[in-house]
């Protein structure tokens, strides 16, 4: 049977859209699915500053069409004004500017099933459309990978910190925030603004309470731009050292507020709280990608539940590629941030050509 497109990109975040730019400019036929920049529009607090700076938060294009500096000169913003912390409101405006210029459209449907057959991949959308393609690139980010430790799942009021819309609606409740990272601090800030009584539980001291543990920004940006280097590091060693690459951008305002919240290093009695916010991060496991058929999943070689990918980001099922955070054990920490998207997009586009 004839394919409808050469490639289907599943995911319309920075990784999926960057790849689409590369495929579009090399003339490869493709379709892209997903909610555009979903994480950045719906799952980040309006009060947040990005962890990355503007130069490492761009949509990739082979001819550098979507540089932040172009956006600034187009809209009259001074680059100097955003050269420190990048507020999410500015980033969202930059995204809209990019989306108004991309020369292709995004199909906003979610994919509910992908099967592999003799003539390629059959993809089914949530509305029942079926499409046949030769290759699939998964760029589904973190939405399927929310991690909540079992102990907190037992509480009826537990929410992952990814659910920012729900968190912003919590009002006048007794809330326990769990986790020592930036998402915990941002959740606390918003919860306090909404007159909640907030307490905080972490097993270890929050990272930004001990500044020296954070690498300086220039060193962080330099090291994580080396996916080819990380490709040669054993995934076990890589996973153990990844903690070094956590970066936080806690403003003094945020810091002064969260520092005064009652803090527990031992787990308090959870029954005292109406809501538990589990700011406990993400766990990248292929089994959580429910839209892959069981037969397809069974055929993909795995390492610790991650799909093993080649130097071209291709899995052991020919024609099925992975991108973004799920490739971190093989390409290093840049894959968890937008800074990794240009490398991933250009390599996958070349592999598909």
- One of 39, 226, 242, 261 touching ligand FAD (CB under 6 A): 39
Closest to ligand FAD by CB, 274 vs 297, is 297
Q: Which one, of 212, 210, 184, 209, lies nearest residue 199 by Cα?
A: 184
* H-helix segments, 194-290: 217-224, 227-231, 235-241, 252-258
- Rule CB under 6 A: say whether 14 interacts with ligand FAD: yes
How many of the chain's residues bind ligand FAD (CB under 6 A)? 31
- Residue 288 Cβ vs ligand FAD, minimum distance, rounded to whole Å: 11
Does 308 interact with ligand FAD (rule: CB under 6 A)? no
H or E, element range at 22? helix 14-26
From CA 112, how far away is CA 293, in angstroms rounded?
A: 9
Q: Are 191 and 199 in contact (CB under 8 A)?
A: no
Q: 107-117 burial string, b = 16+ CB within 10 Å, else e?
A: beeebeebebe
Of 197 and 293, which has the nearer Cβ to ligand FAD?
293
> In this chain, which stretch among 13-21, 61-69, 221-229, 293-301 interacts with ligand FAD, using CB under 6 A?
13-21
Residue 276, classed as helix, strand or coil, is: strand
How far CA 168 is from CA of 18, 190, 201, in Å, comes to: 30, 7, 20
Does position 183 interact with ligand FAD (CB under 6 A)? The reply is: yes
Which one of 7, 8, 11, 279 is in contact with ligand FAD (CB under 6 A)? 11
Query: Judged by CB under 6 A, which of 7, 23, 54, 57 binds ligand FAD?
Result: 57
Cβ neighbours of residue 28 closer than 8 Å, sequence gap 6 or more: 6, 7, 349, 352, 353
291 near ligand FAD, rule: CB under 6 A:
yes
Give me the least distance between CB of 272 and ligand FAD, in Å please.
27
Q: What are phi and psi of 198, to 5 degrees?
A: -110, 135
* List 102, 139, 286, 352, residue binding ligand FAD (CB under 6 A): 139
- Is residue 334 part of the contact set for ligand FAD (CB under 6 A)? no
> Is the Cα dihedral 41, 45, 224, 137 positive or negative?
negative
Quick check: 38 binds ligand FAD (CB under 6 A)?
yes
The nearest distance, CB 109 to ligand FAD, in angstroms, is 7
Contact 282, 146 (CB under 8 A): yes
Q: Is 190 in the site for ligand FAD (CB under 6 A)?
A: no
The nearest distance, CB 266 to ligand FAD, in angstroms, is 27
Q: What is the bridge-based pairing of β-strands 130-138 and 5-10?
A: parallel
Nearest C-alpha neighbor of 327 from the set 146, 113, 318, 343? 343
Q: Does 223 bind ligand FAD (CB under 6 A)?
A: no
Q: Using an 8 Å Cβ cutoff, are 141 and 324 in contact?
A: yes
Q: Closest separation between CB of residue 2 and ligand FAD, Å? A: 23
Binder to ligand FAD among 7, 8, 16, 20 (CB under 6 A)? 16
**Does residue 4 touch ligand FAD according to CB under 6 A?**
no
Nearer to ligand FAD, 25 or 113 (CB): 113
Assess 338 for contact with ligand FAD (CB under 6 A). yes
Q: Is 34 near ligand FAD (CB under 6 A)?
A: yes
CB of 192 to ligand FAD, least distance (A): 18
| Residue from 3, 35, 132, 192 in contact with ligand FAD (CB under 6 A) | 35
CB of 162 to ligand FAD, least distance (A): 6
Query: What φ, ψ does residue 136 adopt, rounded to 5°?
Result: -130, 135
DSSP 68-99: HHHHHHHHT--GGGGSS--BHHHHHHHHHHHH
Residues that bind ligand FAD (CB under 6 A): 10-16, 33-35, 38-39, 44, 50-52, 57, 110-111, 139-143, 183, 291, 324, 336-339
């Amino acid at each position: 049977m004839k394919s409808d497109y050469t490639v289907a990109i599943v995911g319309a975040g920075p990784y999926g859209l960057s790849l689409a730019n590369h495929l579009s400019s090399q003339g490869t036929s493709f379709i892209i699915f997903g909610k555009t920049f979903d994480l950045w529009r719906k799952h980040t607090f309006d009060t947040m500053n990005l962890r990355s700076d503007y130069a490492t938060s761009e949509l990739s294009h082979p001819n550098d069409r979507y540089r932040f500096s172009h956006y600034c000169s187009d809209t009259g913003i001074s680059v100097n004004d955003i050269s420190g912390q990048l507020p999410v409101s500015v980033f969202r405006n930059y995204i809209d500017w990019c989306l108004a210029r991309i020369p292709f459209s995004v199909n906003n449907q979610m994919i509910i099933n992908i099967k592999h057959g003799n003539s390629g991949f059959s993809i089914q959308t949530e509305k029942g459309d079926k499409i046949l393609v030769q290759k699939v690139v998964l760029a589904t980010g973190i939405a399927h990978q929310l991690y909540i430790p079992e102990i907190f799942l037992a509480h009826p009021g537990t929410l992952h910190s990814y659910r920012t819309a729900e968190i912003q609606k919590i009002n006048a409740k007794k809330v326990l925030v769990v986790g020592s990272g930036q998402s915990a601090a941002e959740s606390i800030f918003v919860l306090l603004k909404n007159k909640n009584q907030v307490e905080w539980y972490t097993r270890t001291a929050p990272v930004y309470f001990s500044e020296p543990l954070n690498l300086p920004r220039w060193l962080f940006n330099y090291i994580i731009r080396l996916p080819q280097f990380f490709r040669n590091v054993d995934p076990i060693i890589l996973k153990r050292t990844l903690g070094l690459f956590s970066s936080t951008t806690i403003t003094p305002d945020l810091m002064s507020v969260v520092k005064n919240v009652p803090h527990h290093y031992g787990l308090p009695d959870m029954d005292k709280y109406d809501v538990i916010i589990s700011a406990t991060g993400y766990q990248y496991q292929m089994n959580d990608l429910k839209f892959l058929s069981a037969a397809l999943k069974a055929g993909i070689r795995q390492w610790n539940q991650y799909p093993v990918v080649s130097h071209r980001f291709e899995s052991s099922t020919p024609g099925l590629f992975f991108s973004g955070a799920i490739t971190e054990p093989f390409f290093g920490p840049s894959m968890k941030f937008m800074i990794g998207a240009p490398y991933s997009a250009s390599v996958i586009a070349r592999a598909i050509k």
